[in-house]
Amino acid sequence: MNEIFQEISEREPAWLDGGGPQADCVVSSRVRLARNLRGHRFSHHASGAELAEIRHLLASRVLDRPSFAGGWSLELERCTSLQRKFLLERHLASPDLVNEFQHRGLLLSADLGRVAMVNEEDHLRLQVFHSGFNPTLACQDALGLDAELEEVLDFAFSDDLGYLTTCPTNVGTGFRLSVLVHLPGLILSKEIERILNSLRQLQFTVRGLYGEGSAVRGALFQISNLGTLGRSEETLTSDFYRHVGKVIHYETLARERLLEEDRLGLEDTVHRSLAVLQEARLLTSLEAFDRLSHVRMGISLGLLPGPGVGVLNRALLEMQNAHLQVRAGRPLEGRERSAARAELLRRLLA
Amino acid sequence: MNEIFQEISEREPAWLDGGGPQADCVVSSRVRLARNLRGHRFSHHASGAELAEIRHLLASRVLDRPSFAGGWSLELERCTSLQRKFLLERHLASPDLVNEFQHRGLLLSADLGRVAMVNEEDHLRLQVFHSGFNPTLACQDALGLDAELEEVLDFAFSDDLGYLTTCPTNVGTGFRLSVLVHLPGLILSKEIERILNSLRQLQFTVRGLYGEGSAVRGALFQISNLGTLGRSEETLTSDFYRHVGKVIHYETLARERLLEEDRLGLEDTVHRSLAVLQEARLLTSLEAFDRLSHVRMGISLGLLPGPGVGVLNRALLEMQNAHLQVRAGRPLEGRERSAARAELLRRLLA
């Protein structure tokens, strides 16, 4: 198991490379599809034996498909708690999957761009990730993957309702689009609450970095659609594109306005933050999130020559607690983590 | 007058070069001699006409001596308030001289290492400056200068009491030794109060950067002897050397102990401070003093490769408010000063 995690931790997911559209404001776009197997009870009603059977079936069928060639299958109860936390930090697993890990599984494609959670709320939760703001590509990719899996799996489906899911909010398409957005401009201009509230009124949900109830760190937010019933994946995607596109537009305007109103103050903030990241010997996660956020904004505004957005995305991921410890191969105490984080960031941002 | 100040501001005093003994803890050593002219009332009893006469006499006689060849004579009331503040920041003039500037003068040697304040508390206050911890050299230099001036000036002297001065504490030799010391280790180790109190009990006075009542900035202190009556200059100097030498020794021990107890924390502090000084776009004087102090200590402990102590001494001097404005040739508002300070420090510490 340790070797697998070593391998995963060293593989850089393509969706983090900063090469996608509007990567200055959007880290990644993700589509999740909820699916259940016909003829099996939903996860929370199934016995341990049935869950084990489902996991075995899904692991063998899914990993056999071209999309998952060379990928990995993980059984969550065989991971250490540190490894489970690592999967959460990497956005490969949900908080639910890693907290209630008995009989649960995770299937990963070789490029870490496709992920299947097994026996979470639904038997199968497929996820695809893409770089930047790219809901359309993520939607196409997810539907293609779904079709590929339907060749070998029989999903529970009703002609009236569509795909059947444990929670009624997912019935129909089981489709959820999310983006991980970086909104420092709206925070600094104090517009963030107003914008997020209007998104919520439009049936979007907005959360911190690690999903529901988690705190906002580094001005990073997850925005997802809420309802799916009665609307096609294409309609959901184009609605998402339009509404979230507006938020990105407002973020860009806020950054430009900040630059106009106080260029010197902004330059001071971003140069200081890059300098500290490049030179500190001890960095808490909280400080690192803030400073990486400043630098990410500074680069998008042309105030800093580098590093690239891809390096920053990687830094934001890898400087987290479980990542540092998986990389070190052992648990690290608070101050050791701060030292390891500072060392990693010095190296990445040199 | 502006041209004179431009010239002075660009001339780097040799005593700031960091080349003297124990320059890691001591910026400079200074001797001051208080003298009055026989046949004239003390400054505070003399009329304006008499003060003008004294100033004229001293300026012509002193600037004529080899030690002051190529030097400058300033009449304080002809300086702007900014220029007077500049003289104070540069330690060329006392707060008293620049606050009550009518009929007062300042004579400067070409290398800015010898200074004569005219019509301050006494008619003449001679000062010599040397780099690092060098009381003996400063004492010899001051007495040599005194002898040179006595060839052309008739000082008030009593066979019983010695040199006569306005304030009884100076009667006798009129001799005061001071050092500008950097004591960040004793501050961090919280030993500073104890050490300074024992110095005070030994008849030393300890003050902030700009003399009596001024705040401590950048862990810089001025230590001076208090009483002079009945003791020769040589005795005063060797006492000073011994007692202040102990303080420097304690400072060195405190730094080494800090390094032993928390090397990483200290490395973090000094690297961050250098990075911020090299990259910030806005720096208040308070922050700059603190960060320069960290860097100065970091260099002395071998935690930073550079810059040299001389550069830091210069930075500590030149980043001050009046210096920035004299250099800019105009008054600067608070934020403009912060920007000019950051720009200067970026350049000096690049």
What domains, with CATH codes, occur in chain A? 2-229 (3.30.590.10), 262-348 (no CATH)
What is the separation, in whole angstroms, between the first and last Cα of chain A?
32
Has residue B266 got a pLDDT over 60?
Answer: yes
Q: Tell me, what's the pLDDT at A212? A: 56
Q: Based on C-alpha coordinates, what's the Rg of chain B?
A: 20
Of A267, A278, A279, the CB nearest to B281: A267
Mutate to test the interface with B, among A261, A263, A272 (most CBs of B within 10 A): A272
- Beta carbons within 8 Å of A58's beta carbon, 6+ residues apart: A37, A105, A107, A116, A118, A123, A124, A153
* Largest interatomic CA distance in chain B: 64
Distance CA A320, CA A334 (A): 12
**Choosing among A262, A271, A338, which should be mutated to test the B contact, i.e. which has the most B CBs within 10 A?**
A271
8 Å CB contact of B280 and A268: yes
**Mean pLDDT (whole number) for A323-332:** 92
For residue B148, the one-letter residue type is: E
Other CB atoms within a 10 A radius of the CB of residue B239 amount to 17
B337 contacts in A (CB within 8 Å)? none
Average pLDDT over residues A259-268: 96
* Neighbour tally for B76: CB within 10 Å: 24
What's the rounded Cα separation, in Å, for the pair A165 and A199?
A: 25
Q: List Cβ neighbours of A202 (8 Å cut-off, separation of 6 or more).
A: A243
**What number of C-beta contacts closer than 8 Å exist between A and B?**
46
Predicted local confidence at residue A210, as pLDDT: 57
Interface mutation target, options B271, B295, B332, B349, chain A, most CBs of A under 10 Å: B271
Which two three-digit tokens encode residue B95?
A: 């707060």
List residues of A whose CB lies inside 8 A of any B CB: 264-265, 267-268, 271-272, 274-276, 278-282, 335, 339, 342
Rounded alpha-carbon distances, angstroms, from residue B48 to B51, B74, B103 = 5, 17, 7
Judge whether residue A228 has pLDDT over 70.
no
Tokens 């799916």 sit on residue: A228
Separation between Cα atoms, residue B239 and residue B243, nearest integer Å: 6
B34 contacts B181 by C-beta, under 8 angstroms: no
Summarize the confidence of residues B39-52 as an average pLDDT: 93
| Contact of A29 with A178, CB cutoff 8 Å | yes
Q: What is the DSSP letter of A172?
A: B
Band (A282; pLDDT cuts 50, 70, 90): very high
Quick one: pLDDT at residue B9? 83
Report residue A192's pLDDT band, with 50, 70 and 90 as the boundaries. very high
Tokens of A292: 């990486």
Which of B272, B339, B342 is the closest to A276 by Cβ?
Answer: B272
Mean pLDDT of all residues in chain B? 92
Among A10-19, A83-92, A325-334, B334-343, the range scoring the smallest mean pLDDT is A10-19
DSSP assignment, residue A311? H
State the nearest Cα–Cα gap between B61 and chain A, in angstroms. Answer: 51
Decide if B76 contacts B83 (C-beta within 8 A): no
pTM over 0.80: yes
- Average pLDDT value for residue range B33-52: 94
Q: Among A9-23, B45-59, B106-120, B222-236, which stretch is predicted with the lowest mean pLDDT?
A: B222-236
Given a contact cutoff of 8 angstroms between Cβ atoms, the answer to whether B181 and B248 are in contact is: yes
Query: Which residues of chain A are within 8 Å of residue B264 when distances are taken between CB atoms?
Result: 281-282, 335, 339
The predicted pLDDT at position A298 comes to 95
Q: List, for residues A27-58, the tens digit of each pLDDT value.
A: 999 999 999 999 999 998 999 999 999 999 99
Is residue A231 scored above 60 in pLDDT?
A: yes
Contact B275 A271 (CB under 8 A): no
Average pLDDT for residues B42-64, to the nearest whole number?
94
Express each pLDDT in A135-174 by its tens digit.
999 999 999 999 999 999 999 999 998 999 998 888 888 9
Percent of chain B clearing pLDDT 70 (strictly above): 97
Residues B191-227: tens digit of each pLDDT: 999 999 999 898 899 987 655 556 678 999 999 987 6
pLDDT digits (tens, 9 = 90+) for A169-188: 888 889 999 999 999 999 99
Q: What is the pLDDT of residue A217?
A: 86
Query: If you average pLDDT over every residue of chain A, what do you get?
Result: 92
Contact status, residue A180 vs residue A220, Cβ threshold 8 Å: yes
The pLDDT of residue A209 is above 80: no
pLDDT surpassing 90 at residue B273: yes
Q: How confident is the model at residue B229 (pLDDT cuts 50, 70, 90)?
A: low
Q: Do B276 and A272 make contact, defined as CB atoms within 8 angstroms?
A: yes
Q: Which residues of B touch A (CB under 8 A)?
A: 264-265, 267-268, 271-272, 274-276, 278-282, 335, 339, 342
Q: Which residues in chain A are closer than 8 Å to B268, comparing Cβ atoms?
A: 280-282, 342
How far is residue A22's CA from residue B157's CA, in Å, rounded to a whole number? 83
> For the segment B101-115, what is each residue's pLDDT rounded down to a tens digit?
899 999 999 999 999
- Quick one: which of B220, B186, B238, B199 has its CA closest to B91? B220
Q: Which candidate in A263, A266, A269, A279 is best for mutational testing of the B interface (most B CBs within 10 A)?
A: A279
Rounded alpha-carbon distances, angstroms, from residue B45 to A170, A230, B48, B49: 95, 99, 10, 12
Q: Is B94 helix (H, G, I), strand (E, B) or coil?
A: coil
Smallest CA-to-CA distance from A37 within A177, A150, A162, A159 is with A150
Q: Is the pLDDT of residue A259 over 60?
A: yes
Calpha distance B198→B15 (Å, rounded): 28
Nearest-CB residue to B275 (from A265, A276, A282): A276
- Report which DSSP code applies to A19: -
- ipTM, interface predicted TM-score of the complex: 0.88
Bond before B307 cis per omega within 30 degrees: yes
d(CA A208, CA A213): 7
